[in-house]
Structure 1
Amino acid sequence: MSGEQRTTIELESVSEESESESEDGNGNGDHWSMFVAGDYALSRDEPPTAERSVSRALRERIDATDVSVVNFEAPIVADDARAVDKSGPAIDNPAEAAAAVADAGFDVCTLANNHVRDFGPDGVASTVEALEAVGCETVGVGESHDAAFDPLEIACGGASIGLVNVCEREFNIAGENSHGAAWLSDRRAREAIRDADREFDTVIVVAHAGAEYVPFPAPELQGLLREFVDIGADLVLGHHPHVPQGWETYGDGAIFYSLGNFLFDSMADSENASWGLALEIEFDGPTPVTIELVPTETIGGVVHPLGQVRDLDDHLAYLHRLSELTGDSETLEPYWQEIAIQLFYERYSNWLHMGCGVNLSRARSAPNDPAVQRPIWDLEARRKEILALLTIVRMESHRWVMTKALAVLTGETTDLRTPESREEAQLLLSRTAR
């Protein structure tokens, strides 16, 4: 993929409205800008600083905008904090990460993500406290499930912006009376967006969701994020897959399905997960009018504007192709079928096998043999495996992948794949594999 690629997206529906009002002498208000970045999680030997984590060029760009937002992926906890019993790694940010993210120029940290509660409710509370102490506002978590959905109000350019932050469910969701994250599938997510649409001039939803290391959103996730636009969101901005995905203008809004990683130390050596997509959004009062794509790459633990070691035009062409395929649901479907089947064979069949017991067939044939039975039915001994099984059947994106793959493989859903779509889907998937 080569050739010069455009980096600015005009939001035509709202731009036309803005131009019409300007012609009548009733412009929407002051022009202002917002910088939005993806996942941020540090784990390095030396204490992090802004200078050692974000390049001067990016810091200057972030500082030049009026509001800047990043997903603070992992909690800040005490040295003696204990991780919760969960599937997958429990990660935390060092204490210095709060100052580092603030000094890099970020004003707002979204916290609704799958790692925020890795050290329990107390870890959520200590993270909010640490970030607020350095001047960063937070959103997406609360001391109760209801409170987690409270939007963050941003006043800029004579407009009021409501920022709602939600995520998929793993081991991270707030309890009715304990700190945690806002769950995107809960009815309260839709209520929060509708309420924000009535209260604020503009609504932005940040959604931490999707299957990891794939180039497309599941059609079910696409439908859900489109619904968010239908009920009041002007922009929906996603992350969690650790790789950038495409975007689309939909209805009266725009959806970016995944910004990927901004700076994620544990993936800094990964060819496909050490670059991402940030956005610079220009507003006319409450109206988003243009979005500039800002691809980034991590080099030696520092995130830079993309183009030092990677080909910028090639990566932009790749992103535009993803967007072309994503924006049409019928076009997306055969590509997603191919990816879902590939993921099922590579990931989920193994996880299901492990969670159900590697000797399940032997257990059925020898029900009275303790040596065979114990590894399977002793759930305490197999707790980690059972927790992994819980994750893949409970988390929406995992479930959507498995459902799609099995529906196509059994003929319950029409197989729409063609040799051409399968070949291109595999090529695109190769650019996201970890």
Structure 2
Amino acid sequence: MKVFFCGDIVVSKRHNDIISTDLRKRLSSCNYSVCNLEAPIKQEKCLPIEKVGPHLSCAPNSIELLNDAGFNIFSLANNHIFDYSLTALNYTKLCINNNGCDFVGVSGNGRATYEPKVIRGEKKVAIFSAADCEFGCEKFNENGYAYINSPKLDKEILKIQCEVDYIILIAHAGVEKIDVPLPEWQKRYRELIDLGVNVIVGHHPHVPQGYENYNGGLIFYSLGNFFFDTAGYSENVSYSIILDISNDISFELIPHKVINGKVHVIDKINISELNSKIFDDTYIDKVCNDIFNERYLPYIKHSMLGLPETFGFYGFTKSIVKWLLKRNINRKHRELLFYHLFRVDSHRYLIERYYRGNYDV
């Protein structure tokens, strides 16, 4: 049995086709093809939830388009699937079912939120889907997606072990736009392998990260973006994997890139370099320090003081005057941002790692 896995997909605009002929052949060679649908399909009546960050949605024909390309299982545990509330999520699930496909990571089709999708071929395989604790997470919304650090997930993994041959977990977590996983996520993923998971397929950082073999299991930390047609993600250079599941599990890595609006197979990706970075503590510390100062420190200042996230010397006086006049207007948003920075595991891990590394004695 062959199963194709890819990373994040957002099809925000109408397209006639997004998959090249060469990649279609790879998809058609598999018994199942799984993608992370990063955003819901919303109708006109769907209103955005209150949250930090952008609200994403997919075009009305997205499921039909992806199913035509070969995808038949949609992972829905991610930080944007609840962007337009339960109404849009339910409509998305309906669209998936109407196209003869299935989903995992949220409740539906006779399964509770944390229960896996079981596929059958030469072997019986349970596929779980879970994500970091962002807006729409089940931890704070009973209709939300599965939380990757919830004891409920561990319980379901232990429960299904005696009923299947293999367990695969799709993990949507990590710090965005860095090419190495945080050690905290490596620790959690290894715990899940020790618990009984055979393969972890990661995404969310939007860029590829490496993989490792650990205790007989495979951990792919981030497949990156597969197709993401929102601003800033035009190329989407990354990779997918095909798992060949029989008496053991082997895999084929498929590098690809979006060229002229279609995902094309390319010759190679720097996977050896990405793999080596996983174990390079010096590199990880540098990345965390850089990201903290470039991204997180401005967020913290803005959330706590209402200061602009960036301003130069020339505009300093003007910025301070505006802050004094308007500091209470956006207070709710700032408080939500502050809460977001410490509720989401990835953000909290990086912030804590920065301060621990710079101030612990």
TM-score, structure 2 as length reference: 0.91
Please tell me the residue identity of whatever aligns with 1:191.
K
Give the gaps of 5 or more residues in structure 2: 309-320
- Cross-structure match for 1:42: 11
1:368-427 CA-partner distances (Å, limit 9, x unpaired): xx9976744x3x633333222222111111111111111112144xxxxxxxxxxxxxxx
CA contact (8 A) 1:122 1:179 kept: no
- The 1:173–1:102 alpha-carbon spacing in structure 2 relative to 1, beyond 3 Å, is same
2:273 paired with 1:321: yes
- Cross-structure match for 2:316: none
Partner Cα separation in structure 2 for residue 381 and residue 243 of structure 1: 32
Partner Cα separation in structure 1 for residue 46 and residue 303 of structure 2: 28
Mapping of 1:64-103 within 5 angstroms?
64-103=29-68
Is the partner of 1:386 in helix, strand or coil? Answer: helix
- Cross-structure match for 2:182: 218
Partner Cα separation in structure 2 for residue 173 and residue 88 of structure 1: 15
Q: Percent identity?
A: 29
Please tell me the residue identity of whatever aligns with 1:408.
G
More off after superposition, 77-86 vs 345-354: 77-86
2:337 paired with 1:388: yes
2:172 paired with 1:208: yes
Partner Cα separation in structure 1 for residue 20 and residue 229 of structure 2: 15
CA contact (8 A) 2:306 2:334 kept: no
- Cross-structure match for 1:407: 356
- Cross-structure match for 1:277: 239
Partner residue of 1:134 out of 79, 86, 99: 99
Partner residue of 1:155 out of 113, 116, 120: 120
Q: CA deviation at 1:174?
A: 2.7
TM-score, structure 1 as length reference: 0.76
2:73 paired with 1:108: yes
- The 1:372–1:138 alpha-carbon spacing in structure 2 relative to 1, beyond 3 Å, is closer
Q: CA deviation at 1:306?
A: 1.9
Mapping of 1:15-414 within 5 angstroms?
32-44=1-13, 47-49=14-16, 52-142=17-107, 147-157=112-122, 159-174=123-138, 178-267=142-231, 269-270=233-234, 274-285=236-247, 287-288=248-249, 290-307=250-267, 312=268, 315=269, 318-326=270-278, 331-358=279-306, 375-376=326-327, 378=328, 381-412=330-361
Partner Cα separation in structure 2 for residue 138 and residue 109 of structure 1: 5
Please tell me the residue identity of whatever aligns with 1:293.
L
Give the gaps of 5 or more residues in structure 1: 1-31, 361-369, 413-434
Q: Tell me which stretches of 4 or more aligned residues in structure 1 moved more than 6 Å.
A: 370-374
Please tell me the residue identity of whatever aligns with 2:277.
L
CA contact (8 A) 2:130 2:147 kept: yes
1:40-74 CA-partner distances (Å, limit 9, x unpaired): 10122xx223xx21111111210111111111110
Is the partner of 2:223 in helix, strand or coil? Answer: coil
Is the partner of 2:119 in helix, strand or coil? Answer: strand
Query: How many residues matched?
Result: 347
CA contact (8 A) 1:268 1:301 kept: no
Partner Cα separation in structure 1 for residue 139 and residue 358 of structure 2: 38
**RCO greater where, 1 or 2, for CA within 8 Å and sep 6 or more?**
1
Is the partner of 1:280 in helix, strand or coil? Answer: strand
